[in-house]
Structure formats: C-alpha cells, structure tokens
Amino acid sequence: MVKIAIMVHNLKMDIYDGMRFAAEQGCQGVHLACVKGFNPNDLDANGRKELVKFVKGLGLEISAICAWGGQVDLGNPENLDTHIEEGKRLLEYAADLECGIWQGHCGIMPHSKDNPKWARFVDSFGRLCEHGEKVGAKLAIETGPEPPEVLLDMIEEVGSPSLAVNYDPANLILWPAHYQMDETGTYDRAKAFAEYKPVEGVKVLGKHIIHTHAKDAWVNPETNRRQEVPLGSGWIDWPQYVQNLKDVGYDGYFAIEREVGEDPVGDITRAINYLKTL
C-alpha cells in the first residue's frame, strides 16, 4: 500500500478543512503549499508548533512544503541573493514543520554544462544546500523541464545530501510537449518519452527521489494540446511507476496534485481511491 498525501490547496477549500478532509479519506499525509497564512513569514515558532500539533492531531504528517511554483530561476543572476535567502528560510520552515522537505521549481537548467547558467545553478544549489545540511532539511527539485539525466548530473555535481528530487511523472509529459510544439509545431510522443522517460526516469534518479507527485497527463492526438488529466486517465502507467519506485527503495509519499478541473474534490477523492488499489 502506498502512502498518500493531498496537496491541500488544490481542494479549493479552507486549508484546515482540507486537512480534515484528508484524514477523513484515510490519507496519511498533507502536502502544504506556502500560501497566505501558511508561509514562513506568517507563522512564527509558536505558530509552526501549533500547525504541527494540529496535523498530528488528525493522525497525519506533513509530507513536504511547496514553494516556488515557477517564479524563481536560480540560473538567473537577477535578484539571486534575495532568492537564496528566501530559500534558506524555506528550508528552516520545512525543518520546523518536521517534514524536512521543501519541494519547488528552481528554474530551467541548461542541457549542457558549457552554458554559463550551469555553473550559476551549481553555485546556487550549493549555497542553499549548505544551509539545508545545517538545519536538517532538503530541497526536492521538481522534475519536468529537464530530462532525468540532466537533473542527475546537476545533483551529482552539487554533491550535497540536501539536494534531492520531487518526481512528478506528469511534468515529464507536459514539458517536452511544450518544447516540441514551440520548436516544430508538432508532437512526437516516441521521441519525447525516449528523452524524458516519465516512468522509466525513476531508475535514473533512484535514491535521490524523496517525494513524488501523483499527477497524470497526456497530449491530445487531435489537437496536440498537452493536458493534465484525472489520475489514472492519462499516459502514466501507474502500476509500473509504483513498482519502479519500490525497486529503487522509495518509501515516501505519493502527494496528489490536481491543478485544473471543475471538480477538484471529486477528482482528488477518486485519485485517493485509485492509489489505494496500487
């Protein structure tokens, strides 16, 4: 049986009500986004303790915190020092909330180490991870913009145990589709899957995966439109994905993410029930 968490703000309800919903549905965890009222600036030490107490009182854990949904690029020198300091506060926050994992998008890494942005990423991650090692927290980079091998190269070059992976298999469908449509106006599924490996990339990143998003996607063959779809209705082979994670020793959370759709509560409820069958 997999450990299930919900990205609570996707429910489109009060966060505390969403956490109660997760408990009622038999989930083991909640994945908390740093939205208003739930970010490091809004909760002091006592507020953080009270939040952890509330979550534990429901019989849940915080699987990870979520911040930086695409607004920050650690390969860009603009405002970089400010971003680094914000990242350090996020690592402290993750440690205080007793999950020790901050999941986030950190910019689009170049596919070549010869690109000047590569060294900037290495330095930026290094500065963050040095602090992460001190406070006992890890940055889990969200998969998607880069093939798994590129992300692995970055993690190995930084060389810190505080740099890890949040594996989102759906993003490894959505991102290459975006690139291909921009470049050629057409989508080549075989080529995209061969390079970005939505399911098989787990074997590449292996031990570095510490959190995963349960999200699904496909590319509509008639319109070439890339779409996030309800869990189990897209192109991710979920039984194989779960097995691959087990094979590399993963025992962490499957955090349900549903960013679109008219019925988030219904979609997430069905996703919970589906994951319980795996």
35-77 pLDDT, tens digit each: 999 999 999 999 999 999 999 999 999 999 999 988 899 999 9
pLDDT, tens only, 207-232: 999 999 999 999 998 888 999 999 99
| CATH code at position 19 | 3.20.20.150
Instruction: Please state the domain count of the chain.
Output: 1
pLDDT, tens only, 228-267: 999 999 999 999 999 999 999 999 999 999 989 999 999 9
CA distances (Å), 202 to each of 61, 98, 225, in order? Answer: 24, 26, 25
Question: How high is the pLDDT of residue 1?
Answer: 87
How far is Cα of residue 78 from the mean position of the Cα atoms in its chain?
24
CA distances (Å), 65 to each of 7, 121, 137, 248, in order? Answer: 9, 22, 11, 23
Q: What does pTM read for this prediction?
A: 0.97
Q: Is the pLDDT of residue 113 over 90?
A: yes
- Domain range enclosing 84: 3-275
How far is Cα of residue 71 from the mean position of the Cα atoms in its chain?
15
Amino acid code (one letter) for 258: R
